[in-house]
A and B are shown apart, each in its own frame.
Chain A
């Protein structure tokens, strides 16, 4: 599990002592050596138990509208030689290196920061939904309250305050690891060096920056599923509380 102390180890070493560890730079986005980070996340699926703590922590931290998600953990039941087993697949914005959501925006409201975080300027977005259509990972939605595009920000407000993303901080199994892939000493760099990692939908050419350890081949791209939760959900019809939300 990444703790803030583990995360800062690299910076501490470079700052040269415990004094610096006690008074680190308030923003994780401004490393002591002045380099520009490239943020990424590693999902260690061997450790994910599908508890949805990250889903809830994200919603709480970012005030995500009830019923919408910036991240969630789909759970599949897949066949193996030992019979059916559950497979967790935490999903979120991949903060892609080649994000198709950005060039389609007609008002330049969606953009990528120098450290790789894909963000939406909520004051500029007209809520046209074009970026929602363009994201191959369904990582965006239109927020009911603001009428603008909403998505994972890697909790940029927390990074600026020297904290880790809420989902990482809360993950009980330590399955979510966040860090700077330009720092060879970071936890993510070490995991990427030591493990065979995969990205989702590599054929989309988006170069995602969320990496998975232990991702089953059958979950990498289009997942072939038979009637499960989605089919049940579809059969149930519209959510009963939709009207309540729209009236609120």
Chain B
């Protein structure tokens, strides 16, 4: 021991619970988009459709929590008024709209059955920008040397693997009629959650300093929760469960695991004072800021689901009946 601190000042978290919601939703959106493309290649367009719709819903929802976490959201256009290539966040400001736009347009092309050539380009853009989004979200946090819990090799790996698991989980929750496609998704979920569990264990257990740091602001029960309920359970359910219900349970557990991991690491890292005299009080689950971000994000996902359903049920058939559409388009 060096001594004790006699003076303490309060400091606020710079990234609020909205940031946790954003990192959850955008990670799941990209993973769902990657799953859609993989299923399209392996099983065809029809099998990939549910995953693509989930990707569209989540992609449409992601900008809301991101903007809400800015303390000056009305100035978001400033991201585009100049170049800041040294900032990972600036790259993200371009990658995110590219991913959202290509995902929504690819969904539109798929729903209408038109623009086959453009659809391929759009899906390519969706996959490319989606991989960019995964890279930037992991890189944005991992480069911050002042946050040792983020600035290491383990955190970005677990962040990415939990994103993949939550995306596969979200698609399974929505339901995948194609049985072979559902099986592939369960395997993807089991693989990413299992790998996430191994990576989490290696990251924290292999480095005593990291384990000490993690445990300083994240009780064992929180980390155990992430590992057991958020990673091991969905992996086991996806591997050994049978039927749509167990697949949905696995999906819910995977989404919960990704949320719990982000919550633990975003609040845990920000609660650690770098000058050892500042007090950061982590938001409680019942805090207005937490409830606002949860209800706001859930509301946005519900609204996006309605919009995508309207696209599927009304807009796409109307477009299919357009002047250029022949009888084949009607059947598509």
Contacts and interface: CB of A to CB of B under 8 A. Distances in A.
Interface string B268-281: 00100111111101
A135 B270 CA distance: 12
Interface in B123-160: 140, 143-147
B49 to A, nearest CB: 35
Given A148-B72, A239-B10, A223 B2 contact: yes
B2 A76 contact: yes
A6 interface: no
B263 to A, nearest CB: 17
Contacts of A107: 75, 78-79, 81-82, 84, 90
Interface stretch (A11-19, A31-39, A176-184, A228-236): A228-236
B15 A72 contact: no
Interface in A132-160: 132-138, 141-142, 146-148
B12 interface: yes
A142 B71 contact: yes
Contact of A237 (B86, B93, B281): B281
Given A78-B3, A228-B6, A137 B72 contact: no
Interface in B68-84: 69-73, 75-76, 78-79, 81-82, 84
Nearest to B11: A141
B89 to A, nearest CB: 4
B285 interface: no
Given A73-B7, A127-B71, A78 B278 contact: no
A230 B277 contact: yes
A133 B266 CA distance: 11
Contacts of A132: 14
Given A72-B9, A127-B70, A229 B277 contact: yes
A103 B70 contact: no
B3 A76 contact: yes
A230 B146 contact: no
Nearest to B4: A228
Nearest to B280: A234
A137 B275 contact: yes
Interface in B14-63: 14-15
B71 A136 contact: no
Contact of B145 (A105, A204, A233): A204
Contacts of B81: 107
A86 B2 CA distance: 12
A69 B10 CA distance: 9
Contacts of A50: 7
Contacts of A224: 1-2
Given A107-B82, A133-B147, A230-B279, A79 B273 contact: no
A76 B160 CA distance: 40
A166 to B, nearest CB: 18
Contacts of B78: 107, 109, 124, 126
A126 B82 CA distance: 13
A66 B86 CA distance: 33
A218 interface: yes
Interface in A179-227: 204, 218-219, 222-227
Nearest to B93: A106
A223 B146 contact: no
A127 B72 contact: yes
Contacts of A79: 1-3
Report the interface size class on chain A.
35 or more
A93 B279 CA distance: 18
A174 interface: no
In this complex, which of A107, A226, A234 has the most chain B Cβ atoms within 10 angstroms of its Cβ?
A107
A230 B276 contact: yes
A219 to B, nearest CB: 8
Which of B81, B87, B92: most chain A CB closer than 10 A?
Answer: B87
Contacts of A125: 72, 75
Contacts of B7: 50, 72-75, 229
Nearest to A107: B78
Contacts of B147: 133
Contacts of A87: 3
A141 B7 CA distance: 18
Contact of A126 (B3, B5, B79, B143): B79
Contact of B89 (A130, A223, A234): A130
A61 interface: no
A129 B15 contact: yes
Given A77-B4, A105-B84, A230-B5, A133 B15 contact: yes
19 contacts: A69-B9, A100-B145, A104-B89, A107-B78, A107-B79, A109-B78, A126-B73, A127-B71, A127-B72, A128-B71, A129-B69, A130-B14, A137-B275, A138-B11, A138-B278, A226-B3, A230-B278, A232-B8, A234-B279
Given A126-B71, A129-B15, 20 more contacts: A72-B9, A76-B277, A78-B2, A79-B1, A79-B2, A100-B145, A103-B86, A104-B87, A104-B89, A106-B92, A106-B93, A107-B75, A126-B72, A130-B87, A133-B14, A136-B274, A148-B71, A219-B2, A230-B5, A239-B10
Interface of A: 50, 67, 69, 72-79, 84, 86-87, 91, 100, 103-109, 124-130, 132-138, 141-142, 146-148, 204, 218-219, 222-230, 232-234, 237-239
User: When A and B form their complex, which 4 residue pairs have the shortest distance between CB atoms, in order from nearest?
Assistant: A127-B71, A129-B14, A228-B4, A147-B71
